[in-house]
Structure 1
Amino acid sequence: MDYSTDYTTHAEAIAELFASTFTASEGADEGALIGALARRLIAETPAEDLRVFTAWEDGALLGGIFFTRLTYAGDPRTVFLMAPVAVATAHQGKGIGQRLIAHGLGALRQEGVDIAVTYGDPAFYGRIGFEPVSEADLPAPQPLQQPQGWIAQSLTDAPLTPLRGPARCVAAFDDPRLW
Protein backbone atom coordinates (compact mmCIF):
# COMPACT_ATOMS: atom_id res chain seq x y z
CA MET A 1 0.00 0.00 0.00
CA ASP A 2 1.28 3.45 -0.95
CA TYR A 3 0.34 6.74 0.71
CA SER A 4 -0.10 10.06 -1.08
CA THR A 5 -0.69 13.66 -0.08
CA ASP A 6 -1.50 14.75 -3.66
CA TYR A 7 -5.18 15.55 -3.41
CA THR A 8 -5.47 18.00 -6.30
CA THR A 9 -4.65 15.49 -9.04
CA HIS A 10 -7.18 12.98 -7.69
CA ALA A 11 -9.79 15.38 -6.30
CA GLU A 12 -12.81 13.82 -8.01
CA ALA A 13 -11.74 10.23 -7.23
CA ILE A 14 -11.31 11.20 -3.57
CA ALA A 15 -14.71 12.93 -3.42
CA GLU A 16 -16.36 9.92 -5.09
CA LEU A 17 -14.71 7.54 -2.59
CA PHE A 18 -16.29 9.50 0.28
CA ALA A 19 -19.68 9.76 -1.44
CA SER A 20 -19.87 6.05 -2.28
CA THR A 21 -18.52 4.84 1.08
CA PHE A 22 -20.92 6.97 3.11
CA THR A 23 -23.82 6.08 0.78
CA ALA A 24 -23.14 2.37 1.38
CA SER A 25 -22.94 2.73 5.17
CA GLU A 26 -25.29 5.63 5.98
CA GLY A 27 -27.58 6.07 2.97
CA ALA A 28 -27.84 8.31 -0.08
CA ASP A 29 -28.43 11.58 1.78
CA GLU A 30 -25.36 11.13 3.98
CA GLY A 31 -23.30 10.03 0.97
CA ALA A 32 -24.29 13.18 -0.93
CA LEU A 33 -23.52 15.36 2.11
CA ILE A 34 -20.08 13.86 2.73
CA GLY A 35 -19.19 13.76 -0.97
CA ALA A 36 -20.05 17.48 -1.19
CA LEU A 37 -18.00 18.13 1.95
CA ALA A 38 -14.96 16.40 0.42
CA ARG A 39 -15.31 18.49 -2.75
CA ARG A 40 -15.60 21.72 -0.75
CA LEU A 41 -12.65 20.85 1.47
CA ILE A 42 -10.43 20.25 -1.57
CA ALA A 43 -11.67 23.27 -3.56
CA GLU A 44 -12.04 25.89 -0.84
CA THR A 45 -9.75 25.17 2.10
CA PRO A 46 -6.41 27.00 2.14
CA ALA A 47 -3.47 24.58 1.89
CA GLU A 48 -2.10 25.63 5.29
CA ASP A 49 -5.38 24.51 6.89
CA LEU A 50 -5.76 21.18 5.05
CA ARG A 51 -3.95 17.85 5.04
CA VAL A 52 -5.24 14.98 2.91
CA PHE A 53 -3.79 11.48 2.99
CA THR A 54 -4.84 8.70 0.64
CA ALA A 55 -3.95 5.01 0.41
CA TRP A 56 -3.44 3.35 -2.97
CA GLU A 57 -2.67 -0.12 -4.25
CA ASP A 58 -2.01 -0.96 -7.89
CA GLY A 59 -3.51 2.36 -9.00
CA ALA A 60 -6.71 1.87 -7.00
CA LEU A 61 -7.78 4.33 -4.30
CA LEU A 62 -8.37 2.32 -1.13
CA GLY A 63 -8.97 5.03 1.45
CA GLY A 64 -8.71 8.68 2.35
CA ILE A 65 -8.60 10.97 5.33
CA PHE A 66 -8.92 14.72 5.80
CA PHE A 67 -7.37 16.83 8.54
CA THR A 68 -8.48 20.47 8.82
CA ARG A 69 -7.33 23.17 11.18
CA LEU A 70 -9.32 24.10 14.28
CA THR A 71 -8.37 27.39 15.90
CA TYR A 72 -9.02 28.37 19.48
CA ALA A 73 -9.16 32.11 20.14
CA GLY A 74 -7.46 31.86 23.53
CA ASP A 75 -4.99 29.03 22.89
CA PRO A 76 -1.76 28.98 20.87
CA ARG A 77 -1.67 25.21 20.30
CA THR A 78 -2.03 23.77 16.80
CA VAL A 79 -5.12 21.57 16.49
CA PHE A 80 -6.41 19.59 13.51
CA LEU A 81 -9.78 17.90 13.09
CA MET A 82 -9.58 14.42 11.56
CA ALA A 83 -12.71 14.02 9.43
CA PRO A 84 -14.02 12.54 7.30
CA VAL A 85 -12.32 9.16 7.01
CA ALA A 86 -13.29 6.57 4.39
CA VAL A 87 -12.11 3.18 3.20
CA ALA A 88 -13.58 1.75 0.00
CA THR A 89 -16.37 -0.65 0.94
CA ALA A 90 -14.68 -3.63 -0.76
CA HIS A 91 -11.51 -3.07 1.30
CA GLN A 92 -12.98 -2.50 4.77
CA GLY A 93 -12.01 -4.75 7.66
CA LYS A 94 -8.40 -5.16 6.50
CA GLY A 95 -6.80 -2.55 8.76
CA ILE A 96 -6.39 -0.01 5.95
CA GLY A 97 -8.20 2.72 7.86
CA GLN A 98 -6.16 2.25 11.02
CA ARG A 99 -2.88 2.25 9.07
CA LEU A 100 -3.94 5.34 7.10
CA ILE A 101 -4.93 7.18 10.30
CA ALA A 102 -1.63 6.21 11.98
CA HIS A 103 0.24 7.48 8.91
CA GLY A 104 -1.64 10.79 8.93
CA LEU A 105 -1.20 11.30 12.67
CA GLY A 106 2.51 10.55 12.32
CA ALA A 107 2.87 13.19 9.61
CA LEU A 108 1.04 15.76 11.77
CA ARG A 109 3.25 14.86 14.72
CA GLN A 110 6.36 15.43 12.58
CA GLU A 111 5.16 18.88 11.54
CA GLY A 112 4.59 19.87 15.17
CA VAL A 113 0.80 19.66 15.50
CA ASP A 114 -0.17 19.54 19.17
CA ILE A 115 -3.63 17.91 19.18
CA ALA A 116 -5.80 15.82 16.85
CA VAL A 117 -9.53 15.71 17.47
CA THR A 118 -12.27 13.77 15.73
CA TYR A 119 -16.00 13.22 15.97
CA GLY A 120 -16.73 9.53 15.67
CA ASP A 121 -17.04 6.13 17.31
CA PRO A 122 -14.99 6.15 20.54
CA ALA A 123 -14.61 2.35 20.44
CA PHE A 124 -13.02 2.40 16.96
CA TYR A 125 -10.88 5.51 17.39
CA GLY A 126 -9.91 4.54 20.94
CA ARG A 127 -7.83 1.73 19.42
CA ILE A 128 -5.58 4.36 17.84
CA GLY A 129 -5.14 6.62 20.83
CA PHE A 130 -8.19 8.89 20.86
CA GLU A 131 -9.94 9.45 24.17
CA PRO A 132 -13.23 11.12 25.10
CA VAL A 133 -13.12 14.85 25.84
CA SER A 134 -15.82 17.17 27.05
CA GLU A 135 -16.96 20.24 25.18
CA ALA A 136 -15.98 22.23 28.28
CA ASP A 137 -12.35 21.05 27.90
CA LEU A 138 -12.26 21.11 24.11
CA PRO A 139 -14.97 23.38 22.70
CA ALA A 140 -16.51 22.27 19.40
CA PRO A 141 -17.10 24.84 16.66
CA GLN A 142 -20.77 23.80 16.35
CA PRO A 143 -23.20 22.15 18.81
CA LEU A 144 -22.58 18.39 18.86
CA GLN A 145 -25.50 16.04 18.15
CA GLN A 146 -23.61 13.18 19.83
CA PRO A 147 -21.20 14.63 22.43
CA GLN A 148 -19.92 11.15 23.36
CA GLY A 149 -18.26 11.03 19.93
CA TRP A 150 -16.05 14.08 20.59
CA ILE A 151 -12.59 12.54 21.11
CA ALA A 152 -8.99 13.74 20.91
CA GLN A 153 -5.37 12.86 21.46
CA SER A 154 -2.20 14.78 22.21
CA LEU A 155 0.41 14.44 19.47
CA THR A 156 3.19 15.66 21.75
CA ASP A 157 4.59 14.52 25.07
CA ALA A 158 2.32 17.06 26.79
CA PRO A 159 -0.91 15.80 28.35
CA LEU A 160 -4.22 16.70 26.76
CA THR A 161 -5.26 19.76 28.74
CA PRO A 162 -8.25 22.07 28.22
CA LEU A 163 -8.22 24.40 25.23
CA ARG A 164 -9.37 27.97 25.61
CA GLY A 165 -12.05 28.80 23.04
CA PRO A 166 -14.13 29.67 21.28
CA ALA A 167 -13.33 27.24 18.48
CA ARG A 168 -13.41 27.99 14.77
CA CYS A 169 -13.32 25.41 11.95
CA VAL A 170 -12.65 25.77 8.23
CA ALA A 171 -15.57 27.12 6.16
CA ALA A 172 -16.57 23.75 4.66
CA PHE A 173 -17.16 22.34 8.17
CA ASP A 174 -19.10 25.36 9.43
CA ASP A 175 -22.41 23.57 8.85
CA PRO A 176 -24.54 22.29 11.76
CA ARG A 177 -25.59 19.22 9.72
CA LEU A 178 -22.04 17.91 10.01
CA TRP A 179 -21.94 18.08 13.79
Structure 2
Amino acid sequence: MDYSTDYTTHAEAIADLFASTFTSSEGAEEGALIGALARSLIAETPAEHLRIFTAWEDGALLGGIFFTRLTYAGDPRKVFLMAPVAVATERQGKGVGQRLIAHGLDALRQEGVDIAVTYGDPTFYGRVGFKPVSEADLPAPQPLNQPQGWIAQSLTEAPLTPLGGPARCAAAFDDPALW
Protein backbone atom coordinates (compact mmCIF):
# COMPACT_ATOMS: atom_id res chain seq x y z
CA MET A 1 0.00 0.00 0.00
CA ASP A 2 1.30 3.44 -0.96
CA TYR A 3 0.32 6.76 0.61
CA SER A 4 -0.15 10.09 -1.12
CA THR A 5 -0.86 13.67 -0.12
CA ASP A 6 -1.56 14.77 -3.72
CA TYR A 7 -5.25 15.51 -3.59
CA THR A 8 -5.50 17.99 -6.45
CA THR A 9 -4.72 15.42 -9.15
CA HIS A 10 -7.24 12.95 -7.74
CA ALA A 11 -9.87 15.30 -6.27
CA GLU A 12 -12.83 13.75 -8.10
CA ALA A 13 -11.74 10.16 -7.35
CA ILE A 14 -11.38 11.07 -3.67
CA ALA A 15 -14.83 12.70 -3.52
CA ASP A 16 -16.35 9.72 -5.36
CA LEU A 17 -14.74 7.31 -2.86
CA PHE A 18 -16.35 9.18 0.06
CA ALA A 19 -19.74 9.36 -1.67
CA SER A 20 -19.80 5.67 -2.60
CA THR A 21 -18.45 4.44 0.75
CA PHE A 22 -20.99 6.43 2.78
CA THR A 23 -23.80 5.48 0.37
CA SER A 24 -22.97 1.80 0.93
CA SER A 25 -22.88 2.09 4.71
CA GLU A 26 -25.35 4.88 5.52
CA GLY A 27 -27.60 5.30 2.47
CA ALA A 28 -27.84 7.60 -0.55
CA GLU A 29 -28.61 10.78 1.40
CA GLU A 30 -25.56 10.41 3.65
CA GLY A 31 -23.41 9.44 0.67
CA ALA A 32 -24.44 12.61 -1.17
CA LEU A 33 -23.81 14.72 1.95
CA ILE A 34 -20.32 13.33 2.59
CA GLY A 35 -19.39 13.38 -1.10
CA ALA A 36 -20.37 17.07 -1.23
CA LEU A 37 -18.41 17.70 2.00
CA ALA A 38 -15.28 16.13 0.47
CA ARG A 39 -15.63 18.25 -2.68
CA SER A 40 -16.15 21.40 -0.61
CA LEU A 41 -13.18 20.69 1.66
CA ILE A 42 -10.92 20.16 -1.37
CA ALA A 43 -12.16 23.21 -3.26
CA GLU A 44 -12.61 25.74 -0.47
CA THR A 45 -10.27 24.99 2.44
CA PRO A 46 -6.97 26.91 2.36
CA ALA A 47 -4.04 24.53 1.90
CA GLU A 48 -2.45 25.55 5.20
CA HIS A 49 -5.58 24.32 6.99
CA LEU A 50 -6.03 21.05 5.04
CA ARG A 51 -4.21 17.73 4.98
CA ILE A 52 -5.50 14.83 2.91
CA PHE A 53 -3.90 11.40 2.95
CA THR A 54 -4.89 8.64 0.55
CA ALA A 55 -3.94 4.98 0.32
CA TRP A 56 -3.37 3.31 -3.05
CA GLU A 57 -2.59 -0.16 -4.32
CA ASP A 58 -1.88 -0.99 -7.96
CA GLY A 59 -3.37 2.32 -9.08
CA ALA A 60 -6.61 1.80 -7.12
CA LEU A 61 -7.73 4.24 -4.43
CA LEU A 62 -8.28 2.22 -1.24
CA GLY A 63 -9.00 4.93 1.29
CA GLY A 64 -8.80 8.58 2.22
CA ILE A 65 -8.70 10.77 5.28
CA PHE A 66 -9.15 14.50 5.75
CA PHE A 67 -7.60 16.64 8.49
CA THR A 68 -8.75 20.25 8.81
CA ARG A 69 -7.59 22.92 11.20
CA LEU A 70 -9.58 23.72 14.32
CA THR A 71 -8.67 26.97 16.01
CA TYR A 72 -9.44 27.92 19.59
CA ALA A 73 -9.71 31.61 20.46
CA GLY A 74 -8.14 31.11 23.88
CA ASP A 75 -5.46 28.56 23.02
CA PRO A 76 -2.37 28.68 20.78
CA ARG A 77 -2.04 24.90 20.34
CA LYS A 78 -2.25 23.49 16.81
CA VAL A 79 -5.34 21.26 16.53
CA PHE A 80 -6.67 19.32 13.53
CA LEU A 81 -10.04 17.62 13.08
CA MET A 82 -9.82 14.19 11.48
CA ALA A 83 -12.94 13.76 9.34
CA PRO A 84 -14.21 12.29 7.18
CA VAL A 85 -12.48 8.94 6.80
CA ALA A 86 -13.40 6.39 4.13
CA VAL A 87 -12.14 3.02 2.97
CA ALA A 88 -13.43 1.40 -0.22
CA THR A 89 -16.24 -0.95 0.74
CA GLU A 90 -14.51 -4.05 -0.64
CA ARG A 91 -11.35 -3.27 1.37
CA GLN A 92 -12.98 -2.64 4.75
CA GLY A 93 -12.04 -4.86 7.68
CA LYS A 94 -8.51 -5.43 6.37
CA GLY A 95 -6.66 -2.79 8.38
CA VAL A 96 -6.49 -0.19 5.59
CA GLY A 97 -8.27 2.47 7.65
CA GLN A 98 -6.20 1.94 10.78
CA ARG A 99 -2.93 2.05 8.84
CA LEU A 100 -4.04 5.16 6.95
CA ILE A 101 -5.06 6.92 10.18
CA ALA A 102 -1.76 5.98 11.86
CA HIS A 103 0.13 7.31 8.82
CA GLY A 104 -1.80 10.61 8.88
CA LEU A 105 -1.38 11.09 12.63
CA ASP A 106 2.35 10.40 12.36
CA ALA A 107 2.68 13.01 9.59
CA LEU A 108 0.84 15.56 11.75
CA ARG A 109 3.12 14.75 14.71
CA GLN A 110 6.16 15.35 12.52
CA GLU A 111 4.82 18.75 11.47
CA GLY A 112 4.27 19.82 15.08
CA VAL A 113 0.51 19.41 15.49
CA ASP A 114 -0.44 19.22 19.16
CA ILE A 115 -3.88 17.56 19.15
CA ALA A 116 -6.03 15.49 16.81
CA VAL A 117 -9.76 15.32 17.41
CA THR A 118 -12.52 13.42 15.63
CA TYR A 119 -16.23 12.78 15.90
CA GLY A 120 -16.96 9.12 15.43
CA ASP A 121 -17.11 5.63 16.86
CA PRO A 122 -15.02 5.59 20.06
CA THR A 123 -14.45 1.84 19.78
CA PHE A 124 -13.00 2.00 16.26
CA TYR A 125 -10.97 5.17 16.77
CA GLY A 126 -9.85 4.01 20.22
CA ARG A 127 -7.71 1.43 18.38
CA VAL A 128 -5.58 4.29 17.02
CA GLY A 129 -5.27 6.22 20.29
CA PHE A 130 -8.37 8.42 20.49
CA LYS A 131 -10.07 8.82 23.87
CA PRO A 132 -13.38 10.44 24.86
CA VAL A 133 -13.25 14.13 25.76
CA SER A 134 -15.94 16.44 27.07
CA GLU A 135 -17.16 19.50 25.24
CA ALA A 136 -16.26 21.47 28.37
CA ASP A 137 -12.60 20.47 27.97
CA LEU A 138 -12.47 20.54 24.18
CA PRO A 139 -15.28 22.72 22.77
CA ALA A 140 -16.81 21.56 19.48
CA PRO A 141 -17.45 24.13 16.75
CA GLN A 142 -21.14 23.12 16.60
CA PRO A 143 -23.47 21.42 19.12
CA LEU A 144 -22.89 17.63 19.06
CA ASN A 145 -25.79 15.26 18.42
CA GLN A 146 -23.77 12.36 19.87
CA PRO A 147 -21.33 13.78 22.46
CA GLN A 148 -19.96 10.30 23.22
CA GLY A 149 -18.36 10.39 19.75
CA TRP A 150 -16.24 13.48 20.51
CA ILE A 151 -12.76 11.99 20.95
CA ALA A 152 -9.19 13.26 20.80
CA GLN A 153 -5.54 12.50 21.41
CA SER A 154 -2.40 14.43 22.15
CA LEU A 155 0.19 14.13 19.39
CA THR A 156 2.98 15.32 21.67
CA GLU A 157 4.48 14.13 24.94
CA ALA A 158 2.19 16.59 26.76
CA PRO A 159 -1.05 15.25 28.24
CA LEU A 160 -4.33 16.33 26.71
CA THR A 161 -5.48 19.32 28.73
CA PRO A 162 -8.54 21.58 28.24
CA LEU A 163 -8.62 23.99 25.30
CA GLY A 164 -9.96 27.52 25.61
CA GLY A 165 -12.81 28.14 23.19
CA PRO A 166 -14.74 28.99 21.24
CA ALA A 167 -13.69 26.67 18.42
CA ARG A 168 -13.67 27.55 14.73
CA CYS A 169 -13.62 24.94 11.97
CA ALA A 170 -13.22 24.88 8.19
CA ALA A 171 -16.15 26.57 6.46
CA ALA A 172 -17.32 23.26 4.93
CA PHE A 173 -17.81 21.86 8.46
CA ASP A 174 -19.67 24.89 9.78
CA ASP A 175 -23.00 23.13 9.22
CA PRO A 176 -25.05 21.76 12.16
CA ALA A 177 -26.18 18.80 9.99
CA LEU A 178 -22.64 17.42 10.16
CA TRP A 179 -22.48 17.46 13.94
TM-score range, shorter chain: over 0.9
Secondary structure class of the residue paired with 1:144: coil
1:125 maps to: 125
Percent identity of paired positions between Structure 1 and Structure 2: 89
Structure 1 runs of 4+ aligned residues shifted over 6 Å read none
Secondary structure, aligned partner of 2:124: helix
Structure 1 letter corresponding to 2:74? G
Q: Which position in structure 1 is the counterpart of 2:22?
A: 22
Correspondence 1:145 to 2:145: yes
The residue aligned with 1:3 is 3
Secondary structure, counterpart of 1:71 in structure 2: strand
Deviation digits for residues 92-151 of structure 1 (CA, Å, limit 9, x no counterpart):
000000000000000000000000000000000001100000000000000000000000
What secondary structure does 2:94 align onto?
Answer: coil
Aligned equivalents of 2:128, 2:42: Cα separation in 1 = 26
**Structure 2: which amino acid aligns with 1:30?**
E
- Distance in 1 between the 2:126 and 2:4 partners? 25
Find the aligned partners of 1:125 and 1:136 in 2 and give their Cα distance: 21
Q: Superposition pairs for residues 10-159 of structure 1, below 5 Å?
A: 10-159=10-159
User: Which ranges of structure 2 fall in alignment gaps of 5 or more residues?
Assistant: none
Aligned length: 179
Unmatched tracts of structure 1, length 5 or more: none
Partner Cα distance (2:83, 2:127) in 1: 17
Residues 59-89 of structure 1 show CA distances to partners (whole Å, capped at 9, x for unaligned) of: 0000000000000000000000000000000
Q: TM-score, normalised by structure 2?
A: 1.00
CA shift at 1:158, angstroms? 0.2
| SS in structure 2 at match of 1:156 | coil
